[in-house]
Amino acid sequence: MSTDASSLTTQDIEFLQRPLHGFLSVAGGPLPPQPRPVWFEATAEGTIQLFTSPDSLKVRRLRRDPHASIVVAAPVGERERWLSVAGRTTVEPDGAHDLCVRLAARYWNLDDPARADDLAGILAADQVRLVIHPETVSRYMY
């Protein structure tokens, strides 16, 4: 395992550009933390972003304590690899729907009418963008 105090490497970003699920934990939640699976995007600036409802429990917790972490692991059948990113998280009012469209195209086949309808339903609702600004990055690659 290695830890870099605050940044994602080029190899980390390449890994995170795959359609993998991340497991998000936010501060101020139950102990032990109870991560939730999420879609996410690694940005060229080295942040991690995702979208959620503005009245979600994770947003309420982040408003009290803006720290969160996300863990992403390679799927079964691949060599063991995982990445953990922890840091201050901001709740951004803009860009969530655009992010949602990009992520839906990455995770779903939008030619499937049911998935297209699912996306339309998400886009009909208010969304915010959560941005994790890395403070600690840990990784393991076998």
**What is the pLDDT at residue 2?**
63
Amino acid identity at 53: S
Beta partners for residue 138, in sequence order: 3, 84
Closest CA to 70 of 22, 3, 4, 34: 22
Percent of the chain scored above 70 by pLDDT? 96
**What is the pLDDT at residue 3?**
61
Residue with tokens 């994602």: 8
Collapsing DSSP states into helix, strand and coil, what is residue 114? helix
Residue 9 has pLDDT above 70, yes or no: yes
CA dist 102 and 96 (Å) reads 10
Read off the pLDDT of residues 61-106 as tens digits, 9 standing for 90 and up: 999 999 999 999 999 999 999 999 999 999 999 999 999 999 999 9
Computed over every residue of the chain, the mean pLDDT equals: 94
Tell me which of 31-35, 43-47, 115-119, 128-132 is least confident.
31-35
Confidence of residue 114 (pLDDT cuts 50, 70, 90): very high
Read off the pLDDT of residues 38-57 as tens digits, 9 standing for 90 and up: 999 999 899 999 999 999 99
